[in-house]
Amino acid sequence: MKDMSESASNFIHDFIDEDIREGGRYEGMKVHTRFPPEPNGYLHIGHAKALYIDFHTAEKYGGLCNLRMDDTNPTKEDEEYVDAIKEDIHWLGYDWGDRFYYASSYFGQMYDYAEELIRKGLAYVCELTADQMKDMRGDLTKPAVSPFRDRPIEESLDLFARMRAGEFEDGRMTLRARIDLSSGNFNMRDPVIYRINHMRHHQTKDTWCIYPMYDFAHPLEDAIEGITHSLCSLEFESHRPLYDWVIENCSVPAKPRQIEFARLGINYTVLSKRKLRNLVENHLVSGWDDPRMPTLCGLRRRGYTPESIRSFHERNGVSKVNSVVDYAFLEHCLREDLNRTARRVMAVIDPVKLILTNYPEDMTETFEVENNPERPEDGTRIVRFSRELYIESDDFMEVPEKKFFRMFPGNEVRLKSAYVIRCTGCVRDDSGRLLEIHAEYDPNSRGGNTPDGRRVKATIHWVDSKTCVSAEVRLYDSLFTVAEPDLADCNYLDFLNPESLKVMSGAKVEKSLADAKPGSGFQFLRLGYFCADSKDSSPERLVFNRSVSLKDSYKS
RNA sequence: UGGGGUGUAGCCAAGUGGUAAGGCACGGGACUUUGACUCCCGCACUCGUAGGUUCAAAUCCUGCCACCCCAGCCA
């Protein structure tokens, strides 16, 4: 991985600089962060921002970053997500060493801390039902109420023990922190810190029937692991007083500091687990790894590289402003990476036959073509050429519009690395459908250079009709037709792009692609970057996904 | 009506009292055997807004406005 020790600074680093310098709260300590996903779904590019921040911050300061499953709610979580999360993180290029943890493995300690709070008179068992608690929460001006907050300590201790022992059904009672029922910050109005849930947990099995709430559990998890900086998103800002309260009132071994940053938004897509799940469950996409999905597995299948995603986050920066980044910027980062690494090949997505009428019927020859002009060390390959070829139907216009300088009757173009040819006409069937294009080649232009030095404006790609291989090419576009489908919270599905996937089943690709390994990426000359689909492509049936098109300054 | 935040170009984003970085997008040009890449040029007389302090303000002070988050036994 690229050395990030000199990467762009941000406000979080400014805080850390203060914390670790002489007199700071963590003077002389190693910076320690954590990435704490809840195992209830797949990671998406928004999580990658958090990963970027957590891992690179640790790296910048020579510290460590833990991976921790924040699994405090068995109702929503499942082990099946754990391995997928690990795989995605490793794919992105991050490593947590031997520091992989489950929050659930701290349940015993958390229980003890809860008891400590009760003994200190800072927590109590409340028998309000969920509805009652809601009714008694108060509002912006009126404080909350709980008839149980002055319950004797011994009684709460006993009840809490019996909660744990399974004596009560779900929802019968809760453990609440005793903080401030009249706080302007609702999170401090005696928040519930333990609830009863008789559900088997994927890690702790049937050991527990009470589970700690996020606000209580998270600061304890951080403290237990010796985290110095607990970096999270903006919506937890108003929870920080509670985070600090827990750290202050439980006798924990460390005092982590929570710092919040803005989560990522990208236009023309959605980035909430709920909405992504919706797309999957309603079969609006083929799955979590559909190449149109902003999930890491979706982006991977689409052909995005880890480097492009890391670069995207690094260059976007970190701030506290709610932002929506242009999708075009993500695409830019991908093109930038692929431009310097991707092998160039020729593929014709929407083929039309080109016949070189003055080229001998039985002749065939080969040409040497560079694999990547950006990287000569990648060498060359041999492509075959003969009388009948395929070219892109978009590269021909019988009646050219202004500024079109590719194939049209009378015009000369170059077939990439082969010959200069002059279009002589075309053949159509009765209904006007284009059947074939005719042209004459200049035998003296072998390789593409004219003997008299005359210039041609266009160079087009082609494949040999005899040796080319058939393939399916999937052209992807944005999932939504509006920039911010998230804004209309109710009907974002109304803005699904019906053309987000176009399948081109009759593509012809050069022979060298016949054994393209699933997942491998290429630049299809003049078209874009494509990768062999990791699920559906095989030597018997080649399938390529368009990762991103090339920029095109041609405007008709 | 309470609490917590945020406002710098179409989109991100530097900037921490000395006269508005950079990237994306966009427009123009050069180069080109990819209409790609690369390279040049242009793109905020002004930093949400109104005042104030100062020789000097995006930066300090005051008022106002806009937007985001919080009343799950979710995270």
Handedness of CA A485, A487, A493, A495 (dihedral sign): negative
Catalytic residue among A38, A115, A314, A472: A38
- The verdict on whether A374 is a catalytic residue reads no
Site of tokens 């990439």: A416
Residue A386 amino acid letter: S
User: Distance between CA A122 and CA A112 in Å, rounded?
Assistant: 13
- Protein A109 CA to nucleic acid B69 C1', in Å? 31
- Protein A128 CA to nucleic acid B31 C1', in Å? 76
Nucleotide of closest approach to A415 (CA, C1') = B33
- Protein A533 CA to nucleic acid B50 C1', in Å? 59
Catalytic residue among A149, A273, A446, A511: A273
HEC sequence for A473-490: EEEECCCECCCCCCCCCC
Nucleotide of closest approach to A232 (CA, C1') = B75
Return the closest-CA partner of residue A150 out of A171, A178, A172.
A178
Nucleotide of closest approach to A14 (CA, C1') = B16
User: Distance between CA A520 and CA A501 in Å, rounded?
Assistant: 20
Under 8 Å between Cβ of A418 and A428: no
Under 8 Å between Cβ of A267 and A325: yes
Site of tokens 């800072």: A122
Under 8 Å between Cβ of A200 and A194: no
Q: In sequence order, which residues have a C-beta less than 8 Å from that of residue A520 and are 6 or more positions away?
A: A531, A532
Nucleotide of closest approach to A37 (CA, C1') = B75
How much is the pLDDT for A486? 78
Under 8 Å between Cβ of A18 and A24: yes
- The size of chain A, in residues, is 556
- Protein A230 CA to nucleic acid B15 C1', in Å? 26
How much is the pLDDT for A1? 37
- Protein A306 CA to nucleic acid B39 C1', in Å? 28
How much is the pLDDT for A489? 55
Site of tokens 């699994």: A71
- Protein A15 CA to nucleic acid B56 C1', in Å? 30
Return the closest-CA partner of residue A392 out of A412, A416, A368, A410.
A416
- Protein A432 CA to nucleic acid B68 C1', in Å? 57
Under 8 Å between Cβ of A447 and A466: no
3-class DSSP state for residue A547? strand
Residue A135, both tokens: 């009714």
CA closest to B25 C1', residue: A328
Catalytic residue among A86, A99, A137, A263: A263
User: Distance between CA A52 and CA A119 in Å, rounded?
Assistant: 41
Angle at A319 between CA A267 and CA A84, to 5 degrees: 60
pTM, rounded to two decimals: 0.96
Nucleotide of closest approach to A264 (CA, C1') = B12
- Protein A330 CA to nucleic acid B24 C1', in Å? 9
- How many CB atoms are closer than 10 A to CB A375? 14
CA closest to B73 C1', residue: A195
Return the closest-CA partner of residue A30 out of A10, A16, A46.
A16
CA closest to B23 C1', residue: A315
- Protein A130 CA to nucleic acid B3 C1', in Å? 23
ipTM: 0.97
Nucleotide of closest approach to A260 (CA, C1') = B5
3-state helix, strand, coil in chain A (%, to 5): 30, 25, 45
How much is the pLDDT for A555? 74
Nucleotide of closest approach to A197 (CA, C1') = B73
Residue A99 half-sphere exposure, CB side, CA atoms within 13 Å? 20
- Protein A233 CA to nucleic acid B69 C1', in Å? 11
Residue A379, both tokens: 């060498």
Nucleotides in chain B with any atom closer than 7 Å to protein CB: 1-8, 10-16, 22-26, 33-38, 67-75
CA closest to B68 C1', residue: A322
- The verdict on whether A273 is a catalytic residue reads yes
User: Distance between CA A524 and CA A542 in Å, rounded?
Assistant: 14
User: Distance between CA A5 and CA A270 in Å, rounded?
Assistant: 32
Blockwise average pLDDT, block size 10, chain A, 556 residues:
56 97 95 98 98 98 98 97 98 98 98 98 98 96 96 98 98 98 97 98 98 98 98 98 98 98 97 94 97 98 98 97 97 98 98 98 97 96 98 97 96 98 98 97 97 95 98 97 79 93 98 95 98 97 98 85
Nucleotide of closest approach to A328 (CA, C1') = B24
- The verdict on whether A263 is a catalytic residue reads yes
Residue A402 amino acid letter: K
How much is the pLDDT for A5? 40
DSSP A273: H
Start-to-end CA span in chain A (Å) = 43
Q: Which residues of A47-81 are buried (b: 16+ CB within 10 A; e: fewer)?
A: bbbbbbbbbbbbbbbebbbbbbbbbbbbeebeeeb
